[in-house]
Amino acid sequence: MTLQWTRTRDGEHNGKPSYEYHATAEDRTFHIVWAYDRGGTFGYTARGPGGYLTREHGIVWARTLTRCKEQCEKINDAFCRVQG
C-alpha cells in the first residue's frame, strides 16, 4: 500500500522554505524532517500501536527525501505482511 504524503511548511533556511512530511496508514504514522544542523539531511520516524517501528527509537537519518520515503514504504509493507 502506497503511503500518501502531505507536506507542511516548517520555516525557512537561507530564504527558501523548508517542509516536514507526514503520512498515516491505519494506526501507523510516518514523519520526515529536514535538519540543517545535521548537514542538510532528511530523517524519518515511524510509529505504530506498540511504539517505534524502527530499530532506532527516534529519527533515522537517511540523507535524502526519496530514501526516507522508500524506507517508510518498506516499514509499512513489512508491518502489513506481519499483520495480514
Question: Does the structure show a pLDDT above 60 at 84?
Answer: no
Average pLDDT over residues 7-14: 88
- Position 17 pLDDT exceeds 60: yes
pLDDT at 1 over 70: no
pTM of structure: 0.88
Q: Which residue has the cell 491505519?
A: 26
pLDDT tens figures, 46-57: 999 889 998 878
Give the CA radius of gyration of the chain.
Answer: 13
Nearest alpha carbon to residue 36 among 66, 70, 4, 61: 61
Select the more confidently predicted residue: 5 or 40: 5
